[in-house]
Amino acid sequence: MMAVTTPELKGVLKFDEPMSRHTSWRVGGPADHYYEPADIEDLANYLRQLPEQEPVMMIGLGSNLLVRDRGIRGSVICPAGLLDGFEIQNGKVLRVEAGVPCAIVAKRCAKEGFTGLEFLAGIPGTVGGALAMNAGAFGGETWPLVKKVETLDRHGVFHLRDADEYLVGYRSVIGPEAGKLQEWFVAAHFVLEKGDGEKSLKRIKTLLAERSKKQPMGVPSCGSVFRNPKGDHAARLIEACGLKGFRVGNAQVSEKHANFIINLGEASAADIEKLILLVAERVRQEHGVSLESEVRIVGDG
Ligand SMILES: Cc1cc2nc3c(=O)[nH]c(=O)nc-3n(C[C@H](O)[C@H](O)[C@H](O)COP(=O)(O)OP(=O)(O)OC[C@H]3O[C@@H](n4cnc5c(N)ncnc54)[C@H](O)[C@@H]3O)c2cc1C
- How much is the pLDDT for 2? 60
Entry pTM: 0.96
267 Cβ closer than 6 Å to some ligand 1 atom:
no
As a whole number of angstroms, the distance between CA 69 and CA 124 comes to: 23
CB 142 within 8 Å of CB 134: yes
Distances (CA, A) of 125 to 101, 132, 158, 292: 6, 11, 23, 21
- How much is the pLDDT for 285? 98
- How much is the pLDDT for 3? 64
Find all residues with CB under 8 Å of 21, minimum gap 6, and list them.
Answer: none
Give the domain ranges of the chain. 2-77, 86-214, 234-298
Architecture of domain 234-298: Alpha-Beta Complex (3.90)
As a whole number of angstroms, the distance between CA 115 and CA 69 comes to: 41
As a whole number of angstroms, the distance between CA 290 and CA 285 comes to: 9
- How much is the pLDDT for 181? 85
Sign of CA dihedral 261, 262, 264, 266: positive
- How much is the pLDDT for 77? 98
The alpha carbon torsion through 43, 46, 49, 51 (nearest 10 deg) reads -110
**Active site annotation includes 172:** no
- How much is the pLDDT for 1? 53
- How much is the pLDDT for 179? 79
Topology of domain 86-214 in CATH is 3.30.465
CATH number of 2-77: 3.30.43.10
Q: In the chain, which ranges are continuous DSSP H helix? A: 40-48, 102-111, 127-133, 197-214, 234-240, 269-287
Find all residues with CB under 8 Å of 236, minimum gap 6, and list them.
Answer: 258
| 10-residue averages of pLDDT along the chain (301 residues) | 69 98 98 98 96 97 98 98 97 97 98 97 97 96 98 97 97 90 96 97 97 95 97 97 98 98 97 98 98 97 90
260 Cβ closer than 6 Å to some ligand 1 atom:
no
Looking at 171, 211, 227, 247, which residue is catalytic? Answer: 171
223 Cβ closer than 6 Å to some ligand 1 atom:
yes
State residue 260 phi and psi, 5-degree precision: -105, 140
Q: Fold identical between 86-214 and 234-298?
A: no
Q: What is the CA radius of gyration of the chain?
A: 19
63 Cβ closer than 6 Å to some ligand 1 atom:
yes
As a whole number of angstroms, the distance between CA 144 and CA 147 comes to: 8
> How far is the centre of ligand 1, averaged over its atoms, from the C-alpha of 297 (Å)?
12
- How much is the pLDDT for 180? 84
As a whole number of angstroms, the distance between CA 142 and CA 120 comes to: 8
